[in-house]
Chain A
Amino acid sequence: MKTKMTPLSKLYVALIMIFLYAPIVVMIVFSFNSTASTSVIGGFSLRWYKSLLHDEGTMQALANTLILAVSSSLFATVMGTAAAVGINTFRNKRVKQLTMGVTNIPMMNPEIVTGISMMLLFVFCANLIGKSDALGFGTMLIAHITFNLPYVILSVLPKLRQLDKYLPEAAMDLGCTPVQAFFKVILPSISTGIFSGLMMSFTLSLDDFVISYFTQGPSFETLPIRIFSMTKKRVTPDMYALSTLIFIAILVLLVLINVAQAKGDKKMNNKLNKGGKK
């Protein structure tokens, strides 16, 4: 059933991969270019990596991006998990549908609409308190939490639904208080959902440009916003250097996660086989 690819399939896959990776390869190549040109390769050099390290603005933006991504994804994961636990117990169909409908809005709506709608709210509130410079880290954090929440809820909720509904009862039966039952049994059982919600939030937040763009203030610059303002003029190759580094970091991370998963699967299979033979 699972078969090796035919040569035609291989060719097709190869063409798509070339399409997907050509711009990334170009970026990596030019990050090692000794001149600032984006069409002529002058020779190999690490000068853009050096200048990157000395570019305080970019380093600050990188730090800001990480701070924002970590705090917004953690906050969204806690609130979203709690929300999923609650939503899962909703009996009233109308309330449930309404809540899920609202949850889907940030995922379905174009990012630009989500961005400007929050901008309108924030600017309105800022004018109300007479501080026109109120937009910044706070508003971006709120915006990021908001667009992360649906992803957390939608990755936790299926795990809760799959959960044997008698597990919490079994825990209480064995002496747990309802709170203990939640932390000792339910939480560990849905941990994979929580983790994938967290990871998704983190990467979405790391990568977000559009919504950040509309809810930002000059006091807090993230990497995508800095890149945007640079691409308005001419991007210097140190941005390529930075992107190359990020690319490698993500590549390593993805490979590690997958190797771990593959190992886990294999272990599981072995165990299952052994169990079956007994």
Chain B
Amino acid sequence: MNKKSLTAKLTASPYMVWSAIFIVVPLIFVLVYSLTDSQGNFTLDYVLDIGKYKDVMLNSIWLGFIATVISLVIAYPLAYIMARTTANVQRTMMILVMLPMWMNLLIRTYSMMIIMQDTGIINTVLSNIGLPKIHMINTEAAVVLGMVYNYIPYMILPLYSIMSKMDHNLIEAAEDLGANKFTVLKNVILPLSLPGIASGFTMVFVPSVSTFYISKKLGGNTFSLIGDVIEMQFKSANNYNLGAALSLVLMVLIIICMMVMNRFTGDDDDGGVLI
């Protein structure tokens, strides 16, 4: 008996070794690089340098937060509608929501750029019907829109998943007890969907804050997000130490944001990530 469960335990050992080498050790590298200079001597210079990037950091978090909230506001009613409709329609809508996720993010973002650029489709249409052009590309709004567009399926799916599991009798019971539609939403549906909101929030917020491609394409050279700065250190400036320090701070900031988030929603359910 003991021998048997020992064998079963051993099957996890390749993974445990692998995850130690390729998950834990790289994170230790990030820590070590952010606390050393290019000669490998201990220094706090890079970590203290972060102050210079304070505005970029705050701006990234702010834009990521706005994109996440917009996604939530748009996705919530959609998920609710999906969960309440017939099985066949649900299936079709699931496909429709998931399909764009499998399209390459770069191509989709590039397409958005084409639509929004000054000579793009929207402006061509506008000028054809005699309206003034709108400058959209290379603005913060365009970047936020890009984030929402790219990551909103990650908000819809966990919300839909939790709402479709919700017992409809609960809603009827609440109505039976005299609650109106708004009270039902506020006191029954919303609290029950909190785990879905939490996992959707995480899944949109984290990639939005750390993106570097969307901001590059839709924000132009007008401003950078933290992801752009990190990418630059590794791919062109070759300042790994600064890049590591920035990544470390980004990681810590995200952990803090998630902890604050979990305060509001209770425990984050890991299962939700998998839909």
In the complex, the answer to whether B18 meets A12 with C-beta atoms within 8 Å is: no
Which residue of the partner chain, among B78, B105, B152, B202, contacts A12 with CB atoms under 8 Å?
B78
Cβ of A79 under 8 Å from chain B: yes
Contact of A13 with B16 at beta-carbon distance under 8 Å, contacts A104-B270, A110-B254 already known: no
Q: Which residues of A contact B243 (CB under 8 A)?
A: 116
Q: What is the bound-complex CA distance between A189 and B84, given in angstroms?
A: 31
Determine the chain A residues whose CB is within 8 A of the CB of B110 once the complex forms. Answer: 231, 235
Any A CB within 8 A of the CB of B56: no
What are the residues of chain A within 8 A of B87 when measuring CB–CB? 2
Chain A, 6-38, contact with B by CB distance < 8 Å: what is the 0/1 string?
000100110011011111101100100000001
A83/B106 contact (C-beta < 8 A), A1-B168, A116-B243 known: no
A38 and B22: CB pair below 8 A? no
Q: Which residues of A contact B29 (CB under 8 A)?
A: 117, 120-121, 124
B198-221: CB near A (< 8 Å → 1, else 0) gives 000010001101101100010000
Nearest chain A CB to B120's CB is how many angstroms away?
6
Stretch of A43-51, A128-136, A147-155 with 4 or more beta carbons under 8 angstroms from chain B: A147-155
Q: Assess whether A85 is interfacial by the CB under 8 Å rule.
A: yes
Question: Are B86 and A214 within 8 A (Cβ)?
Answer: no
Number of interface residues of A (CB under 8 A): 89
Q: Is A87 an interface residue (CB 8 A)?
A: yes
- Complex CA distance for A13 and B271, rounded to whole angstroms: 27
Contacts of B10 in A (CB 8 A): 86
Closest to B164 in A: A2
How many residues of B are in contact with the other chain, CB < 8 A?
Answer: 88
B114's nearest neighbour on chain A, judged by CB, is A38
| CB atoms of B244 and A116 under 8 A apart | yes
Q: Is B222 an interface residue (CB 8 A)?
A: no
Within the complex, what minimum Cβ distance (angstroms) separates B55 from chain A? 19
Q: Chain B residues with Cβ under 8 A from A12's Cβ?
A: 77-78, 81
- B13: Cβ under 8 A from any A Cβ: yes
B104-143, CB < 8 A from A: 104-108, 110-112, 114-115, 117, 119-121, 124
A-B contact number at CB 8 A? 227
Chain B 11-45 against A: per-residue CB contact (8 Å), 1 yes, 0 no? 11111101110111111011001000000000000
Known: A21-B100, A24-B103. A2 touches B19 (CB 8 A): no
Residues of chain B with a CB closer than 8 A to A102's CB: 19-20, 23-24
Q: Which residues of B contact A239 (CB under 8 A)?
A: 107
Pick from A52-60, A66-74, A242-250, A270-278 the stretch touching chain B.
A242-250
Q: Which residues in A have some Cβ–Cβ distance to B below 8 Å?
A: 1-5, 9, 12-13, 16-17, 19-24, 26-27, 30, 38-39, 79-80, 82-90, 99-100, 102-114, 116-121, 123-124, 142-143, 145-146, 149, 151, 153-155, 158, 178, 203, 207, 209-210, 214, 223-224, 227-228, 231, 235, 239-240, 243, 246-247, 250-251, 254-255, 258, 261-262
A105-B23, A120-B244 known; 15 new pairs, CB 8 Å cut-off, are A3-B85, A23-B111, A39-B117, A39-B121, A82-B14, A86-B9, A109-B206, A112-B227, A121-B22, A209-B213, A228-B106, A231-B217, A243-B103, A247-B103, A258-B95
Pairs across A and B, CB under 8 Å, 18 listed: A3-B84, A3-B85, A5-B81, A24-B111, A39-B124, A79-B18, A86-B8, A86-B12, A87-B12, A90-B12, A108-B202, A108-B258, A112-B210, A158-B271, A210-B213, A239-B107, A247-B103, A258-B91
Ordered nearest first, which 7 A-B pairs have the shortest CB separation?
Answer: A86-B12, A83-B15, A110-B210, A117-B26, A23-B111, A82-B11, A120-B29
